[in-house]
Amino acid sequence: MQHLFIFLSEPLARFLILPIIVVAVGTFVKYTSQNDVHASFSRDLLYWGPDLCVSGLLAIIVDFSSNLGKLPPNVINEYHSKIILLVLLCGVVLFLVSLIIRKFGWKRSEIGWHYSWAGGIIIPDVLGFTLLFAIYKIIA
């Protein structure tokens, strides 16, 4: 059990693996919360891009708030500038994901509106995963 706690304290787990697990658990909860009549695994459940961006932003904020009192004064300025850069990066990527979904992510079918594969799911998800990887690389 101690090895698990050591692993979870590593940047790889905090900034990459745990946010992905949280989004996957959220997808599971969405799937299990569906009405029994309409319960099916649809492509809308793979709409992870914005969730990954928000999870990355939350991981940055939690890390910043937990490390702020522990850092020596000479390191705080460099750490603070990294955090500002990452928050801005998260904001830009989240804006891009929203823009891509709004412009290219919706498709109309005979059953109504749903997310298209490329603009609604694949490109936003790739951007979300890339953002998490960038956060991991910059912080680590």
Q: Summarize pLDDT for 49-77 with one digit per residue, the tens.
A: 999 999 999 999 988 888 877 888 788 88
Range of the domain at 70: 2-139
In contact, 31 and 13? CB cutoff 8 Å: no
At 112, phi and psi to the nearest 5? 125, -165
Tally of domains within the chain: 1
The pLDDT of residue 5? 83
Can you tell me the mean pLDDT for 111-127? Answer: 81
When pLDDT is cut at 50, 70 and 90, the band that residue 39 belongs to is low
Q: Let me know: does 53 contact 86? Beta carbons within 8 Å.
A: no
Minimum mean pLDDT range among 22-31, 40-49, 50-59, 85-94: 40-49
> Each residue of 80-91: pLDDT tens digit?
888 899 999 999
Residue 132 in this model has a pLDDT that exceeds 70: yes
